[in-house]
Amino acid sequence: MGPLEVSHDEQVCTPQAPKVRQVLALLLLRSNQLVSIESLIEELWGETPPHSAVTTTQTYIYQLRKATARFMGDETGKKVIATTPPGYVFHVDSDQLDFQTFNKATEEGRTLMEQGRHLQVSERLSAALALWRDQALTDVVHGPLLQRYVTHLNELYISALELRIQADMELGRYRQLIPELGELVQTYPYNEWFHGQLMIALTQTGRRRDALNAYQTARRLLDQELGLAPSASLQHIHQSVLGADVNGFRPVSALPQPYHAQAG
154 within some domain: no
Question: What pLDDT digit, counting tens, does each position of 132-148 carry?
Answer: 988 899 999 999 999 99
CB distance 230 to 218 below 8 Å: yes
Residues 6+ apart with CB under 8 A from 30: 90, 261, 262, 263
Q: Which of 40, 66, 92 is the last residue of a domain?
A: 92
180's CB contacts (< 8 A; 6+ apart) are 165
Write down the pLDDT at residue 246.
61
CATH of the domain at 215: 1.25.40.10
Last residue of a domain, one of 74, 92, 110: 92
Q: What is the CATH number of the domain that holds 29?
A: 1.10.10.10
The dihedrals phi and psi of 36, each to the nearest 5 degrees, come to -70, 155
Give tens-digit pLDDT for 25-62: 999 999 999 999 999 999 999 999 999 999 999 999 99
Range of the domain at 88: 7-92
197-215 burial code (b ≥16 CB/10 A, e <16):
bbbbbbbbeebeebbbebb
pLDDT digits (tens, 9 = 90+) for 196-250: 999 999 999 999 999 999 999 999 999 999 999 999 999 999 999 998 766 656 5
Residue 17 Cα distances to 44, 47, 80, 200, 222, angstroms: 13, 22, 20, 48, 41
